[in-house]
Amino acid sequence: MKLEELAKQTGAEVIGDGSVEVNSVSTLEDAKPGQVTFLSNPKYIKQLQTTEASAVFVAPGVSTDHTNLLRMKDPYYGFAQAVVLLHGHRKHPHQGVHPKAFVDQSATIGQGTVVYPGAYIGPRVKIGQDCIIYANVSIYDECVIGDRVIVHAGAVIGSDGFGFAPNNGIHHKIPQIGDVIIEDDVEIGANSCIARAAMGSTVIGKGTKIDALVVVGHGTKIGEYGMIVAQVGIAGSVTMGHHVTLAGQVGVAGHLNIGNLVMCGAKAGITNDVPDQTNLMGVPAMPISLGRRVYTQFVKLPELHERVKHLEQQVEELSAGDDDVI
């Protein structure tokens, strides 16, 4: 594809020779002639002067005489479009349900959905159109999957929620009689688990993307277009607004309300309700402006400890001197 055509289809402006042809994509560091790459992090701007790429997606204001540029407001999104245009999406080795998958007779699967071998789709499950259910996915009974949902290998949808009633030192299992609803355009990463509700539904909102090794507890409701990164654990009965981002290994306590447009840094522990448009970090999670101050002081604790010991010694010496005077 010529650069001018790629620019037209991605909404970019060509700076340089639009007649140059490109056929694939690569990283800024590894790209060769004929390939396209991107620069979105200023940290790597020096590589713009050394890359061998035939063209680089960049933000407005970025310039170089070293190579051709494709300027647009969001160069990473432009590059994402280029990947699709030049490489396309994954080609599946078969259509429909693979004969080595198990689909209960009472389940329904929409047109264009691909089910890989080893997948289990239980009784009365409903799966929409154009979904991809990869190998060894397990979808328990009664779960509802929308359109264009991708579930990666080993994920489990609809397993029992972690519900037990302690009595006389014994944990008595509470039957989990709810279900899971996965709305349209959701992606669920490998080996993640979405637990069914004790009553009602666990809901994953439209357009939400869930990474690998994530656990979503029973009865939790995640709003539209969330980003849940690897190894996040969300306890039961949590309600999350739209466009919430939880970075890797964030933990969320149960029965909390997390507002819209909340962002939480890696390894944070959310133990209280969170208002809209709040950025958090730390354990326990705190507003990021406070968290940065806390952690700046945290790394100075050994130094502060030595200073306190020195001050205590000085106070003791002064006190002893007063006694001598008396």
**Catalytic site positions:** 218
CA 243 to chain centre: 11
- Residue 250 tokens read as 């964030």
E strand or H helix at 291, and its extent?
Answer: helix 288-298
Residue 226: which of 126, 158, 234 has the closest Cα? 234
CA distances from 55 to 30, 73, 81, 160 (A): 13, 16, 14, 51
**In the beta sheet, which residues pair with residue 97?**
115
SS3 content of the chain, % helix, strand, coil (to 5): 20, 30, 50
> Which is nearest to 187 in space by CA: 202, 213, 204, 209?
209
Reference 23, options 91, 85, 86; nearest CA is: 86
Burial class (CB in 10 A: 0-12, 13-18, 19+), 232: buried
Burial 40-51 (b: 16+ CB within 10 A, else e): beeeeeebbeeb
Q: Helix, strand or coil for residue 128?
A: coil
